[in-house]
Chain A
Amino acid sequence: MSAPRPKLCLPFFIICSLVFTGCGKRETMVEVGNRAQILHQGIATEPQDLDPHLLQFQSHFNVFMALSEGLVGYDPSDLHPVPGVAERWEVSPDGLAYTFHLRANAKWSNGDAVTAHDFVFSARRILSPGLGSPFRYYFDDVRGAKEFTAAAVPDISTVGIRALDDHTLRIELTHPAPSFLFLLGNWAWYPLHRGTLEKYGGVDRPYADWSRPGRLVGNGPYTLAEWKPGQVIVVKKNPRYWDAARVRLNEIHFHPIENADTEERAFRSGQLHITENVPGSKLREYAAQQRGPLVVAPIFATYAYVFNVTRPPFDDVRVRRAFSLALDRESIVASQVGSGIRPARSFVPPVGGYAGPDEAALRFDPAEARRLLAAAGYPEGRGFPAVELATNTSQLHREIAEVVQQLWRKNLGVPVAISLKEGKVFYQERIRKQYQLSRSSWFGDYPDPFAFLTLYLGDNGQNTTGYARPEYDRLALSAGQTLDEAARLSRYREAEAVLLRDAPVVPLFHETSRHLVHPAVQGRFPNLFNIHPYQGMWLETK
């Protein structure tokens, strides 16, 4: 009986010894990176393409920002526009015409010069109906842009973007737009290399084959070296970049790690310098660390619930306001320890010189809430129809919904059912207004109240509430035509006051960006749009 034992145990020991010989504490990717100036950054999801005109997730902008550069760039600390491909520019006194002078030494990664014609070509591309870019609306302020897309025979010469010569570009607007320069640094305004797109067929249709390593020609501080789907995107320093002397990171490796827990473990084992997310379950612990890696910063985003105002019971403004007044936003925020979120006092997060209307529309006032609900015919919530709060499945969304559910039950006597839906189902039902009450967050694209207020214009395709009020549209749109800054902001304030009074949307809190950042990362500053140019970034252990 003794014969089998050594034979059978042997394979086990062989495997174990094979597996772990050669292992040992070794230099981590981050340690190697710190030495060789190689940044490892998480970007959560795999980009569906490296076409900046078709960006899908904000985190992919990190990749595009490394590969391309617009007319202007951003100052890393406060994101004010700084010279990019354009070394200087003039704005006409009426704020309608911008003249950009392109630097002579701006080059594509294949050595071609970046010219004003490249920007005209790229504008025509993003405006073409065939491409179907979701960011066409960034050009709405440009004269003739909307008409170009709608025209049967589009003619680029009718659009207010013209190359006066190789190095001079003139852009004309229909009305003054204070945030226009900011938008110019954005992915939608990135130039694309005409020759490459024409060769591989991506000029006016999406999903062509020009964006692979070896093909992609960019004008940014880095060039695409490798793209292993589901694993890593590697970019290397572009020696032809005009400001290459200032670029200190030699390589950036972008890691598309979808699962936040996996990403956090990769960070802890020294594989990432920067994570895209922080798992909610770990926030509290990281927040408690003194000088820990957690970096939390306010961003220009609001987390909100929206009503379908076309269907009872939320077609009644009293019911909507009651639901808003019954919310103690402090307790919602308190449920997310370490997240840094701030209770919303307005729909538009504070930005520049703008603070929301002085109206106490978003105060916590359960007595007034009950009074309004009674006035609408539901004293103490009696007789209130069954309502469902729809949200897409995620731990954060569920936790928030549960707190809100409790508050409504306690303060209004109304039981609200939470319905967790798979992403696509959720979005489709919201777009088709097949909901009563739904989660809806909004991230402003540029530092101006209009980036938020545009959402509830009657004809905005993203406005899924059915809310349309001419008075609001008039106020919000007329503010944009106003040259005087103080008058403009005060008109926005009036518009927002109307919005909060009508309450198609219940803002809950203003969002934050949350990343784990290795202490060796230098020259990266938290900011409102979570944009971090790589030009001034480097790695240094202290």
Chain B
Amino acid sequence: MFRFIARRLLQIVPVLFVIVTATFFMVRFVPGGPFTSEKALPPEILKNIEAHYGLDQPLWRQYLNYLGRIAHGDLGPSFKYANRSVNEIIGDKLPVSLELGGLALAVALALGLPLGVLAAVRRNSWVDYLCSTTGMIGICVPTFVLGPLLVLFFAIHLGWVNASGWYDWTDRVLPALTLGFVYAAYIMRLTRGGMLEVLNQDYIRTARAKGASEARVVLRHALRGGLLPVVSFLGPAIAGILTGSFVIETIFQIPGLGREFVNSAFNRDYTLVLGTVMLYAALLVLCNLAADVVQVWLNPKLKFE
């Protein structure tokens, strides 16, 4: 198992290298630059600023400089936020996204798993229909509709929480619920599907025949296999949920990384684009690896190889 994990971790290096290289050149070929704005800068001033950032050098040299930089863990200065480095921006904003993502994930799992199991166990009953319909609605209603609706009711109508911002724990409630609901719906449906498949298997019949209680059958024998599709979904989903959601962060004015990820592309903030892309890529690889490990652990038919 350790060899498996070590090998996968080593694979991150070439993967990141390819991603950095592709992103570096792609953002440079997009029209407009970090200093293009409504009021055109006089050419001599533009030249000055570009020289300050080394943008006047040939592209291949800039690329090599950048590689040298990131080898030392320095993601460079941000082009948009004048006095801040990309390391600092990520250091500031990633914890916010992690917190929001963690809470949303907790909501998603706390809602999705039990309801999915319940729907599968009570298949074709009103419980199942209710859960499935709610799940379908959860998948269909986009966050940019659900978020403002929750704000309208809980923040503006009832005045219980702020409409936006990130000050105290009450500000975490609505964004975590909004983001969590969507994932809860997916998890619910996947859990239900996985459970249904497992509940028809021979070993479940054996367990029942041996006199195991229904709760033991479901929670101990079936759930383990039923969770497999959820786990493979959660791998990439966790990476996405933890690096922040542009929509949620915009609706609730949360100073997270998701907005920087999208805005950096609009701002042509080359270094910030690269920094966030790399972070996302690394997280994606790690989460997929974790998902694989958990799957092997859950599914006795799989082995590390």
Q: Which A residues are closer than 8 A to B by beta carbons? A: 1, 3-5, 7-9, 11-12, 15, 19-20, 22-26, 28-29, 46, 48-49, 51, 54, 56, 129-130, 132-134, 136, 205-209, 211-212, 228-231, 255, 257-259, 261-262, 265-266, 268-271, 422-425, 427-429, 431, 461-462, 464
Indicate which residue in B31, B81, B114 contacts A11 across the interface (CB closer than 8 Å): B114
Residues from chain B with Cβ under 8 Å of A229 in the complex:
81, 84, 89, 92-93, 255
Shortest B248–chain A CB gap in Å is 11
Q: Is the CB of A25 within 8 A of B82?
A: no
* CB–CB A3/B214 < 8 A: yes
Among A11, A266, A424, A431: residue with most chain B CB under 10 A: A424
The distance in angstroms between the C-alpha atoms of A462 and B48, with both chains bound, is: 19
5 new A-B contacts at CB < 8 Å, known A4-B219, A20-B160, A461-B43: A20-B173, A23-B170, A49-B82, A133-B45, A428-B31
Whether the Cβ atoms of B117 and A4 lie closer than 8 Å is yes
Q: Convert B133-167 into 0s and 1s, putting 1 for each residue whose CB lies closer than 8 angstroms to a CB of A.
A: 00000000000000010011011101111111110
Contact with A along B207-231 (1 / 0, CB 8 A): 0000001110011000000000000
B54 within 8 A of A: no
- Chain A CB within 8 A of B250 CB: yes
Residues of A within 8 A of B266 (CB): 422-424
Chain-A contact segment, one of B6-14, B34-42, B66-74, B292-300: B34-42
Q: Which 8 A-B pairs have the closest CB atoms?
A: A424-B32, A230-B255, A269-B163, A8-B114, A49-B82, A23-B160, A132-B45, A207-B82
Give the chain A neighbours of B155 by CB distance below 8 A: 265, 269
**What is the CA–CA distance of A258 and B164 in the complex, to the nearest angstrom?**
12
* B53-87 at interface with A (beta carbon < 8 Å): 77, 80-84
Supposing A25-B159, A262-B253 touch, asked if A48 and B82 sit within 8 A by C-beta, the answer is yes
A48 — which chain B residues lie within 8 A by C-beta? 80-82
Partner of A230, one of B42, B93, B267: B93
Given A257-B164, A428-B36, the answer on whether A15 and B83 have CB atoms closer than 8 Å is no
In the complex, how many angstroms separate the beta carbon of A127 from the nearest chain B beta carbon?
A: 12
Report A132 CB to chain B, min CB distance, Å.
Answer: 4
Chain A residue at smallest Cβ distance from B107: A15
A207–B39 CB distance below 8 A = no
Q: How far is the CA of A230 from the CA of B90 in the complex (A)?
A: 12
In the complex with contacts A54-B82, A207-B77, A428-B32, A269-B110 CB distance below 8 A: no
Is B107's CB under 8 angstroms from A231's CB? no
Judging by beta carbons under 8 Å apart, are B49 and A206 in contact? yes
| Distance between A516 CB and nearest chain B CB, rounded to angstroms | 13
A262 and B82 within 8 A (CB): no
Residues of A within 8 A of B102 (CB): none
Count: A-B pairs, CB below 8 Å: 173
B305 within 8 A of partner (CB): no
Size category of the binding interface on chain B? 35 or more
Is B287 in contact with chain A by the CB < 8 A criterion? no
Q: Which residue of A lies closest to B263 (CB)?
A: A258
Q: Is the CB of B81 within 8 A of A49?
A: yes
Q: Give the residues in chain A near B289, CB-CB below 8 Å.
A: none
22 contacts between A and B (CB under 8 A): A12-B111, A23-B173, A49-B81, A49-B82, A56-B37, A132-B41, A132-B49, A134-B42, A229-B84, A229-B89, A229-B92, A231-B253, A231-B255, A261-B148, A266-B163, A269-B156, A271-B164, A271-B165, A422-B32, A427-B37, A461-B42, A462-B39
- Give the distance in Å from the alpha carbon of A54 to the alpha carbon of B45 in the complex: 12
Interface contact A28-B159, CB-CB below 8 Å = yes
Question: Does B44 sit within 8 A of A, measured CB to CB?
Answer: yes
Residues of B within 8 A of A (CB): 30-33, 36-46, 48-49, 52, 77, 80-84, 89, 92-93, 107, 110-111, 114-115, 117-118, 121-122, 148, 151-152, 154-156, 158-166, 170, 173, 177, 213-215, 218-219, 250-256, 259, 266-268
**A265 contact from B36, B84, B156, Cβ within 8 A:** B156
Which residues does chain A contribute within 8 Å of B121, judged by CB atoms? 1, 4
A424 touches B41 (CB 8 A): no
Which residues of the partner chain A approach B39 to less than 8 Å between Cβ atoms?
A: 134, 462
Chain B's closest residue to A269 (CB) is B163
Do B164 and A265 touch across chains, with their CB atoms under 8 A apart? Answer: yes
- Contact between A262 and B251, CB atoms less than 8 A apart: yes
Nearest chain A CB to B80's CB is how many angstroms away?
A: 6
B148 / chain A contacts, CB cutoff of 8 Å: 261, 265
CB contact between B159 and one of A54, A205, A269 (< 8 Å): that residue? A269
Min CB gap A512→B, angstroms? 19
A187 shortest CB reach to chain B, Å: 14
Of the candidates B38, B83, B107, B256, which one forms a contact with A209 in the assembled complex, judged by CB atoms under 8 Å apart? B83
Output the residue of A19, A130, A209, A230 with the most chain B CB within 10 A: A230
For the complex formed, measure the closest distance between the CB of A137 and the CB atoms of chain B, giving whole angstroms: 9
B114 touches A427 (CB 8 A): no
B residues near A464, Cβ cutoff 8 Å = 40
Q: Which residues of A contact B173 (CB under 8 A)?
A: 19-20, 23
Q: Is the CB of A4 within 8 A of B31?
A: no
Q: Quote the shortest CB–CB distance from B86 to chain A (angstroms).
A: 13
Known contacts A4-B121, A265-B156, A269-B162; is A258 also within 8 Å of B250 by CB?
A: yes
Interchain nearest-CB distance for A36 vs B (Å) = 16
Chain B residues near A424: list those with CB within 8 A: 30-33, 36, 266-268
Given the interface pairs A212-B83, A266-B163, A269-B156, the reply to whether A207 lies near B52 with Cβ below 8 Å is yes
Known: A8-B118, A431-B36. A259 touches B250 (CB 8 A): yes
In-complex Cβ contact of A15 among B110, B158, B251 (8 A): B110
Q: Is the CB of A8 within 8 A of B117?
A: yes
Once the chains bind, are B250 and A206 in contact (CB under 8 Å)? no
